[in-house]
């Protein structure tokens, strides 16, 4: 695809006091949206019903360059910055109307790949990034456990014990997106219990490592087009060379770098979903006749559309701000947390309001708003709950 290290934002001009994406970024955004609309959306309803994974679509996404968008060019990616990657995920979500596949993309390209791209050794980058960029390898992140979610670091039970030139890992990870289909996972495990959250290390785990097992595929309320399962480690052997960063530095270094990308780029997909839901609501409101006229002429309906549009625009600005700060090389714990909190809650509110516009049809599977309504629910839970985001924001204010 060529280099995507472009200047993300144009400064305000003398005549128009407005920040806007450059023409190059806008053209790229449109190309991703059209690809997703033409290649992904037509089968979204069927795949949501069946819960089946489509490798053919995944290969097309790899050929499009989406799977390795933020991987450095020297390792087969496009070298896109955080803003460009966020725009791509926004466009993919809008065009595909497929929250599950968008989630699978984010789990692979961001939380499963960026820890290696950002903090991996030269050996790790050369070995794994080229295959991750093309989609030859599919990845994910192993952080949450059956008994630990919001307190992921403090309650972590998965243990890694060093023996010679290997680590022996025992434990399990829960709700792992791409679990049933993944080739490798970035896994966090406790290496020094006495140090609490500062005693966690991070490892690159391949599915063929001795002791690695995939639990049963989980049946979910939404995001059904993505594959989710538990990962089980029983005396799993991991080479020392597969540890990312120093021992016991995992949560402080890898966790922070990964989660800020997650709370920016993955959440950017909610913007695309919001845009799609609003477009569907407006289209339906223009077609639906009640009391002799289209319901879009009713003030109650206009209120839902107006409030949804305001939330969409505010969400987009928050995501772009967080991404731009990351591209400047700055930490963005507050910005990414605010964006994650506001955008995911706004997506749920918009799903509800656009559902109300559809009336009974929002409860019928053939209408995409029904799928979007279910998919939106995960946003305020995964990647840090809304309650945790509020705690982070308050602690850093």
Scan for tokens 């599950």, then name that residue.
100
- pLDDT tens per residue across all 397 residues of the chain: 555 555 555 554 444 445 678 889 999 999 999 999 999 999 999 999 999 999 999 999 999 999 999 999 999 999 999 999 999 999 999 999 999 999 999 999 999 999 999 999 999 999 999 999 999 999 999 999 998 877 777 789 999 999 999 999 999 999 999 999 999 999 999 999 999 888 999 999 999 999 999 999 999 999 999 999 999 999 999 999 999 999 998 777 776 777 788 888 999 999 999 999 999 999 999 999 999 999 999 999 999 999 999 999 999 999 999 999 989 988 888 999 999 999 999 999 999 999 999 999 999 999 999 999 999 999 999 988 999 999 999 998 8
Q: How many CA atoms lie within 13 A of 367 on its CB side?
A: 21
Identify the domain containing residue 82 by its residue range: 9-134
Scan for tokens 């089946």, then name that residue.
52
User: Domain end: 205, 225, 248, which one?
Assistant: 248
Residues 229 and 126 placed together within one structural domain of the fold? no
Residues 110 and 151 placed together within one structural domain of the fold? no
| Structural domain contains residue 292 | yes
| Structural domain contains residue 340 | yes
What's the confidence (pLDDT) of residue 15? Answer: 45
What CATH code is carried by the domain that includes residue 233? 2.40.110.10
User: Domain end: 82, 111, 134, which one?
Assistant: 134
Distance, CA of 246 to CA of 261 (rounded, Å): 21
Residues 193 and 79 placed together within one structural domain of the fold? no
Residues 159 and 236 placed together within one structural domain of the fold? yes
What CATH code is carried by the domain that includes residue 75? 1.10.540.10
Residues 82 and 67 placed together within one structural domain of the fold? yes
What CATH code is carried by the domain that includes residue 348? 1.20.140.10
Number of domains in the chain: 3
Residues 126 and 110 placed together within one structural domain of the fold? yes
User: Domain end: 194, 229, 248, which one?
Assistant: 248
What's the confidence (pLDDT) of residue 28? Answer: 95
Q: Is 234 among the catalytic positions?
A: no
| Structural domain contains residue 3 | no
What is the signed CA dihedral for 144, 148, 153, 159, rounded to 10 degrees?
A: -80
Residues 152 and 125 placed together within one structural domain of the fold? no
Residues 105 and 192 placed together within one structural domain of the fold? no
Residues 43 and 127 placed together within one structural domain of the fold? yes
| Structural domain contains residue 1 | no
Distance, CA of 174 to CA of 105 (rounded, Å): 18
Question: Per the residue annotation, which of 262, 335, 345, 370 is the catalytic one?
Answer: 262
Residues 302 and 323 placed together within one structural domain of the fold? yes
Distance, CA of 283 to CA of 297 (rounded, Å): 13
Residues 175 and 304 placed together within one structural domain of the fold? no
Residues 241 and 120 placed together within one structural domain of the fold? no
């Amino acid at each position: 695809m060529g280099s995507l290290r472009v200047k993300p934002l144009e400064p305000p001009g003398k005549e128009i006091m407005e920040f806007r994406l450059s023409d190059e970024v806008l053209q790229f955004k449109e190309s991703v949206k059209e690809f997703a609309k033409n290649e992904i959306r037509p089968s979204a309803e069927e795949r949501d019903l069946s819960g089946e994974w489509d490798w053919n679509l995944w290969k097309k996404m790899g050929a499009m360059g989406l799977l390795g968008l933020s991987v450095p060019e020297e390792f087969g990616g496009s070298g896109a910055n955080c803003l460009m990657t966020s725009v791509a995920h926004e466009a993919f979500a809008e065009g595909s109307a497929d929250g599950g596949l968008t989630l699978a993309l984010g789990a692979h390209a961001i939380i499963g790949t960026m820890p290696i791209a950002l903090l991996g050794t030269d050996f790790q980058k050369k070995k794994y990034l080229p295959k991750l960029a093309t989609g030859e390898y599919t990845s994910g992140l192993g952080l949450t456990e059956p008994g630990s979610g919001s307190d992921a670091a403090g309650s972590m039970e998965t243990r890694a014990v060093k023996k010679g030139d290997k680590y022996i890992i025992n434990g399990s990870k829960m709700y792992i997106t791409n679990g049933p289909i993944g080739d490798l996972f970035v896994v966090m495990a406790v290496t020094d219990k006495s140090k609490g959250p500062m005693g966690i290390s991070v490892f690159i785990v391949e599915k063929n490592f001795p002791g690695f097992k995939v639990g049963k595929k989980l049946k979910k309320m939404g995001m059904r087009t993505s594959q989710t399962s538990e990962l089980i480690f029983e005396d799993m052997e991991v080479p020392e060379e597969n540890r990312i960063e120093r021992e016991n530095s995992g949560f402080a270094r890898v966790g922070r770098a990964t989660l800020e990308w997650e709370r920016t780029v993955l959440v950017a997909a909610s913007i695309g979903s919001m845009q799609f839901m609003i477009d569907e609501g407006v289209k339906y409101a223009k077609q639906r006749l009640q009391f002799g006229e289209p319901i879009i002429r009713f003030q109650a309906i206009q209120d839902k559309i107006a409030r949804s549009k305001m939330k969409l625009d505010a969400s987009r600005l928050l995501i772009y701000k967080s991404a731009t700060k990351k591209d400047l090389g700055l930490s963005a714990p507050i910005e990414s947390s605010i964006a994650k909190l506001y955008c995911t809650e706004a997506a749920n509110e918009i799903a509800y309001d656009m559902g109300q516009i559809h009336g009974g049809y929002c409860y019928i599977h053939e209408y995409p708003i029904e799928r979007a309504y279910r998919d939106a629910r995960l946003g305020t839970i995964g990647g840090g709950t809304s309650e945790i985001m509020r705690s982070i924001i308050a602690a850093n204010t």
